[in-house]
Amino acid sequence: MTLPATLPAGKPDPDQCAFIDGVIARTNGRPGSLLGILEAVQESNPRKYLCSEDLRYVAAKTNTPLSQIFSVATFYALFNLEPQGDHIIYICRGTACHARGSRNLLESLRLELGIKEAPDEGSADKLTLTTPDGKFTIRTVACFGQCALAPVVELDHRICGHLNERALAREVDALRQENHQ
């Protein structure tokens, strides 16, 4: 991911400002509270990401340099700086999962969801791709720590192990069906 030279200026809407103010007030300036603040702000966003306006507002309200806020948001994999899909699918790229076919799962899922751009060979260990319609985001993680279940995929916070391409396609179809109900 390339980092922007500057974050676009702007202010969150008044409801979001009130939400962020409440989150900050609950932390009472406790050391280490920035992670919790950013996590709550991200979860409050319908697309589950930290927009630049929210990052600037948190920086101003916590008297924390924007560069420090941005460093935290880019260091931890749980934070997103781009809008995420309605359904988030994590594919493990750890050694056991790789040896048992996680790369094939990633490629078949990318093709099934119609994501045209192929990831660079070297970047599959840290990848985020979202479908053009915003329904699905595919992300890779270094390891879930569930090696006995390899290959492991997380679908909307549900861990699925021993998946093959057909089983993953069925799981994705089930998520699509949820959208139509």
- Summarised one tens digit per residue, pLDDT across range 52-68 is 999 999 999 999 999 99
Q: Give the CATH superfamily of 87-180.
A: Glutaredoxin (3.40.30.10)
Name all contacts of 104-108 with Cβ < 8 Å and 24+ positions apart.
104/165, 105/151, 105/153, 105/163, 105/164, 105/165, 105/168, 106/138, 106/140, 108/165, 108/168, 108/169
Burial 64-89 (b: 16+ CB within 10 A, else e): eeeeebbebbeeeeebbbeebbbbbb
Answer yes or no: is pLDDT of 5 > 70: no
What the block records as the tokens of 61 is 């309200």
Mean pLDDT of 62-82: 93
Q: Would the pTM count as exceeding 0.85?
A: no
Between residues 125 and 76, which one has the greater pLDDT? 76
Residue carrying the six token digits 């990848």: 127
Answer yes or no: is pLDDT of 23 > 90: yes
d(Cα 160, Cα 89) in Å, to the nearest integer? 11
Mean pLDDT of the chain: 89
